[in-house]
A and B are shown apart, each in its own frame.
Chain A
Amino acid sequence: MTELESCDSCALNNSAQLLKLGINVENADYVIALAGNPNTGKSTVFNALTGLKQHTGNWPGKTVTRAEGGYRFKDHKMKLIDLPGTYSLLSTSQDEEIARNFILFGKPDVTIIIVDAARIERNLNLVLQILEITDRAVLCLNLMDEALRHHIDIDERTLGKELGIPVVKCSAIKKQGISELISTVHQVAMRQIICKPYRIKGLSKPAQKMVDKLDKKIRKNYPGLPNSRWIAMRLLDADADIIKALKNGDFINH
């Protein structure tokens, strides 16, 4: 708890102000996105970090717009983006599209993926998709209190090793694990922790072959693109938004 407290005294929460800035992130040192399935406690974590009062509620779809707030940690100003919950990045309703577009094109410095610890399998569906896109992420195993109440625990070391990103256990509503989350995010932002994100392996052989073929072509055209494999998968799936983004050149300076 020390870091959090020390920052409480150095006016951690003062910088927090709900501003709709668009993608204007100039005055913050790092931009941190909060992503995850609906109703996993993203807004609760957001409130705990920024001192703001984003509405929370126990049903999926409470947050439907993007909210921004900030906090300061070790002389760095972090801008935190609370996003609507989404079940996947494979595109659906309007609230989910906001989340997906920010994760894809908003280029956050770190993505905090909030996961419901009691429903990890369904949540991992989204986690694995996000990890195809970004190589800087922190997994926040939230709702630990509820999971334990339901006799479920998670081996976070193994999980961290499997996914190649740091994992932090939290109970956001009780403010447990928040300080560890803050410092882990900071380390990832400062590149003191280097992530080696998991890549999807479960595709069938023929599908895998097609993805590789297209991936190769994309990398030839856009050398150095970190998420070329994801783009290949989306192109094969005829994702209209990705095709449009490609035409507009949204991927070039990633």
Chain B
Amino acid sequence: MENKDIQDLLDLASELRWEVGENFHDTLVEGIYADAAHIAQKTEIKIGEPNPYNFERKLDQVLTSKKYGFPIMILILSIILWLTIQGANYPSGLLASFFLEFLHPILKTGASQVGLPWWLDGFLIDGVYLALGWVISVMLPPMAIFFPMFTLLEDFGYLPRVAFNLDSLFKKSGAHGKQALTMSMGWGCNAAGVVATRIIDSPRERLIAIITNNFSLCNGRWPTQILIATIFIGALVPDSFSTILASIAVINIALLGIGFTFLSSWMLSKTLLKGEVSTFALELPPYRPPNLWTTLYTSLIDRTLIVLWRAMVFAAPAGAIIWLISNIYVDNLSLANITIDWMDGFGLFFGLNGVILLAYVVAIPANEIVIPTILMLTVAHLNLMGAGDGVMFELESTTETAALLHAGGWTLLTGINLMLFSLLHNPCSTTIYTIYQETKSWKWTAFASIMPVILGFLVTFLVTQIWQLFH
């Protein structure tokens, strides 16, 4: 094909385009729809009375009403979280005692019988193996409860209604209503949430959705929230209320995340990303009875295991690194201890401590390993260890964990700030990579990675300052 021929063709096209006028697109779509209506009329058979969708309409009118719309959303979220916290407790303990109490000593004995050198044994079994065991016992149960419930809601058709309800808030913050959908995907995994932003057609709003997705607590962070809330906030009240209070605390963190999503969307659309008007056109699908067994099967076998696999892939090297820095000594102090002391002053300034900060550096690959890292570093720091340093220490009951953390100088303030910092810190490495893949811009990737950390320090700083006013 000659270039000239193509140019001729394009010239003819523009000539004709001027003749048909600006509205050819409308004409085309109207023409297609006219045909479609004609065919539909010929082939659609109405059986008896047409179904007026009365049930769905009634349900929608409640779920999206001024009075009940928002309370129902919060209620549903609360129930899911409460069930997750309550339900995960027991199986978590079981798994932990199996992997860490039962299997771990056996492996150790086995290793010494085979005659592994101490460093290889420590590195593999105390480092890598314990990290894996911890991740499985802490993450598997909550995910196995959280994901199926969430998927059931998703299959029922509730998510688009959430987007519909929240849109007015998103509009006020200059963002797209479909961001509610990507936000809820982020509650599973931020990387998935970032990819899901493709449903947003305007680049500006898509960027906002990508940058703010990190404010959705991902499944790597739910366990942290739950554990710390149970230890520091649940413990404030008698046992019978502690699950409820802990759930309320976690819900508040999740809601705070939503609040930050709005706030930072608003600030972005007023400053760096100002300009384009946002739009929202979303089809609301009919409610569909969820297929219980398929859902359970898919979210257990597929979703949970895949996420877990990812966590383990990252937990193993992290466990190894922790073991290493706890066992390399400079001036009679382990590398871990030096760093912790060095970071401590800085950490206290934000109501955190050196252990937490170092844990967040180690846990950049995956949020899932923050808590085990913290525990292990605390142990190493306090020199409580009998055996080789650098074990991802697992304490079977929350009471023991609490005792350890208190011994490490933790207060209610540290707990609260850790929960806040867990919400507001850099995305994990997978998410950062995904952000780069989706935006193809180092600038925005860097921004999306650093902005939450700054926000996290700002918030914990303010909380600490205000706390100190009253104490």
Contacts and interface: CB of A to CB of B under 8 A. Distances in A.
Interface of A: 38-39, 53, 55-61, 64-65, 84, 88, 90, 92-95, 118, 120-122, 124-125, 127-129, 146, 148-156, 158-159, 162-163, 173, 198, 200-204, 206-207, 210, 213-214, 217-218, 221-222, 232-233, 235-238, 243, 246-247, 249, 252
A207 B287 CA distance: 41
Given A39-B283, A59-B285, A249-B1, A153 B32 contact: no
Contacts of A204: 27, 31
Interface string B331-371: 00000000000000000000000000000000000000000
Nearest to B151: A57
B32 A200 contact: yes
A58 B155 contact: yes
A14 B27 CA distance: 48
Nearest to B286: A146
Nearest to A174: B291
Contacts of A153: 44-47
A152 B33 CA distance: 20
Given A38-B283, A202-B34, A218-B9, A207 B201 contact: no
Interface in B270-300: 282-283, 285-288, 290-291, 294, 298
B106 interface: no
B27 A57 contact: no
A235 B13 CA distance: 6
Given A207-B20, A210-B19, 20 more contacts: A55-B298, A57-B154, A57-B159, A59-B154, A59-B160, A64-B195, A121-B44, A124-B36, A128-B32, A152-B47, A153-B46, A162-B39, A163-B39, A173-B294, A202-B32, A214-B12, A217-B8, A221-B6, A221-B9, A249-B1
A110 B271 CA distance: 48
B29 A90 contact: yes
Given A39-B285, A57-B154, A124 B39 contact: yes
Contact of B1 (A53, A198, A221): A221
Contacts of B51: 149-152
A4 to B, nearest CB: 18
Contacts of B466: none
A146 B291 CA distance: 13
Interface in B194-251: 195-196, 198-201, 206
Given A61-B199, A128-B32, A236 B47 contact: no
Interface string B177-202: 01001000000000000011011110
